[in-house]
Amino acid sequence: MTLRGRILVCLISVVAISGGISTFIGGYLLQRHLGQEARNRVRQDLNAAHVFYGQRLAAMENALSYTSLGERFSQSVTEKDLDYLSPRLNRIYDSAKLDILLAADPAGHVIYRAHNPNLFGDSVAYDKLVSMVLKGEEVVSGTQLVPVEKLKKEASLLVERAGIQIIATPKARPSHRTRLTEGMMLCSAAAVRRPDGELAGVLWGGILLNQNYELVDQVRNTVFHDEQYRGRDLGTATVFQDDVRISTNVLREDKSRAIGSRVSAEVYEHVLEQGKTWVDRAWVVNDWYISAYEPIYDIDHQPIGMLYVGVLEGKFRDVTLRTLTIFGLITLTGLLIAAVVAWKLANSISRPISSLASASSVIAQGDFSQTLPVSSTDEIGSLTQSFNVMAQSLKERDERLKELTQLQLSRSEHLASIGRLAAGVAHEINNPLTGILTFAHMLHKNVPENSQERKDAETIIAATTRCSEIVRGLLNFSRQNEPQKKISGLNNVLEQAINLIRNQANINHINIIEKLDSTLPQLLLDPNQIQEVAVNLMVNAIDAMPDGGNLTIRTRTFDDHNFKWAEFEISDTGGGISSENLARIFDPFFTTKREGKGTGLGLAVSYGIVTKHGGQINVASEVNQGTTVTVRLPVTLKEKNNEQKNSNSGN
């Protein structure tokens, strides 16, 4: 991917990620806030429904209490005056919208039933509310479960309303019931007393909640104001008998009320089994609602049903989706704007960088004359200026490298010429020297000891031997045999060389310091030739310290532009080499040692050996500061493989 493309992707990704995160967090917070608002609303709506439920019960209680207080009414109950009781109770029955209203004597026997006046004389003393009044209570009210047998005494219609068929409902708890056998009623009982305070009878009334929609529709109309959402009631209310809907305005798909359907097992366990109020989302018949449930208790404070209100979750979900859609459109708009800005910004950045890349390619091909105009003072401008400086530096380095290469080429040609000359001279001189040395030894044997002739013969032998050594050095220098390379350890080669010069160092009071890197890889080299190089350098270092000193031998690896070297250093603390002599130290026959101490060929031979190994030899020296000679040998592919094998075998 191009730089322009990466910049575009980066900027657009930042906007997209930040916009996506903002949309996600905003949607989450919005959904959480709306969900909390919806739960607070249904909690308040449930309180309102609870009030309506209590008001309905209180209205019936007040109607019975008011009726039972009249002196004429108590007298008619005492005297069982049906001519007065019948019209009076029928009026109360109709005005209070009761399903059951009856009067009983102090023993609990029915005197009159408003809905079924032909049935009387049976006892209602078993009823809990009647029993409480007979025991001295004035007025008691509550919710009760009334068996269908009792409802049959009032009207068959009440039995039909109470016996609701139970419908299988998804998410409801398992149950084998198919029909309700009890009705849930709002009941109230009031004492009827004579003027002297004695109990004259009991007035008992009730409203059957099964399939009575007045209360739930009152909650919907008053609390939710008949608000519709997508053709459905936004808010609903329900009265449950146990977990069965007996009064509701929750509708099925066919628009009929969901009578007989059941609440989910989760809500049942929370509300009826644990006695807690539920305020959360819940599955209601065929949709999700934000719902609130509370238990309904009977006169003994046992849970017998639930009161429910809820609002469609879809409205709040759609509000969240619409808001998220707006957030998404804003994010897309931001992406488009960011794309335009990113395109212009990418061009302003990539254009000069493309120029730098093109100029770099030209420099890579060897043309170091490339420069670029600096058109800004920002980082790109600084980079362009640095590029120009780099190009100039490369140009100057290239020129110096060419000069150095030419110098090395001249040196190599010079050494080759000297080598050819030395070989010829050595062959021409060697034969006469052999004859001189032979006759000198014969003469030495034939003259008397301590004679002048014997001393002259010894002088001839020493001089001739010295000439032979020079000739041998010339031959070694001229031959420069190809190295016989094999996998070897550089540290081992150096340790053998150290052993060869150790006695000479001790005699000259020189301390040998070894700093050999144990992690040095195996190298492909000629150990004999490299040992010769090391001995030459160590002997030179010893000769440079006639009064003693420190001889340091150090090995290590060195990385140079992804090329790996193994190198060793020979350092002394001698008098050093002057700058004018430093440039000539590799020339054959050049030496700074005293007469008769050296031939001047050791460094020249060492230079040739290291060069044939593909290595480098460098000398750093200051007068009175000592000299350091560094020999670098390449770590070849074979050497790297060998290093890997050694590492694996060690592991």
Q: Write out pLDDT tens, residues 130-174.
A: 999 999 999 999 999 999 988 998 888 999 999 999 998 888 899
pTM recorded for the entire structure: 0.53
pLDDT at 463 over 50: yes
By the 8 A CB rule, do 533 and 610 touch? yes
Domains of the chain by residue range? 8-325, 368-479, 481-650
Q: Among 168-172, 290-294, 346-350, 419-423, whose mean pLDDT is lowest?
A: 419-423
* End-to-end CA separation in angstroms for the chain: 42
Could you tell me the two tokens for 608? 């040739």
Please give the pLDDT value at position 638: 45
What is the residue-wise DSSP string for 311-346?
EEHHHHHHHHHHHHHHHHHHHHHHHHHHHHHHHHHH
Report the SS3 class of residue 100: strand
Determine what percent of the chain is predicted with pLDDT higher than 90: 39
Which 8-state DSSP code applies to residue 230?
Answer: T
Mean pLDDT of 16-39: 79
Q: Which of 187, 282, 295 lies closest to 236 in space, CA to CA?
A: 282
Q: Categorize the per-residue pLDDT at 414 as very low, low, confident or very high, splitting at 50, 70 and 90.
A: low
Please give the pLDDT value at position 614: 86
Could you tell me the two tokens for 21? 């995160």
Alpha carbon separation from 310 to 17, 242, 270 (Å, rounded): 38, 18, 17
Query: Which of the listed ranges 21-35, 493-507, 589-603 does the model predict with the highest average pLDDT?
Result: 493-507
What is the residue-wise DSSP string for 296-314?
EEBTTS-EEEEEEEEEEHH
The maximal CA–CA distance of the chain, rounded, in angstroms, is: 187
Could you tell me the two tokens for 244? 């069965």
Please give the pLDDT value at position 649: 44
| Alpha carbons within 13 A on the beta-carbon side of 57 | 22
Sheet holding 510-515, edge to edge: 510-515, 549-560, 563-572, 626-634, 616-622
Mean pLDDT of 42-62: 93
CA angle 502, 505, 506 (to 5 degrees): 85
Distance CA 104, CA 100 (A): 13
Q: Among 16-20, 484-488, 548-552, whose mean pLDDT is lowest?
A: 16-20
Class of domain 368-479: mainly alpha
Residue 450 class from Cβ within 10 Å (0-12 exposed, 13-18 middle, 19+ buried)?
exposed
Please give the pLDDT value at position 261: 93
Q: Among 46-50, 360-364, 499-503, whose mean pLDDT is lowest?
A: 360-364
Report the SS3 class of residue 531: helix
Return the CATH fold of 8-325. Beta-Lactamase (3.30.450)
Mean pLDDT of 212-216: 93
Class of domain 481-650: alpha beta
Q: Among 100-114, 252-266, 560-574, 633-647, whose mean pLDDT is lowest?
A: 633-647
Could you tell me the two tokens for 640? 């790297």
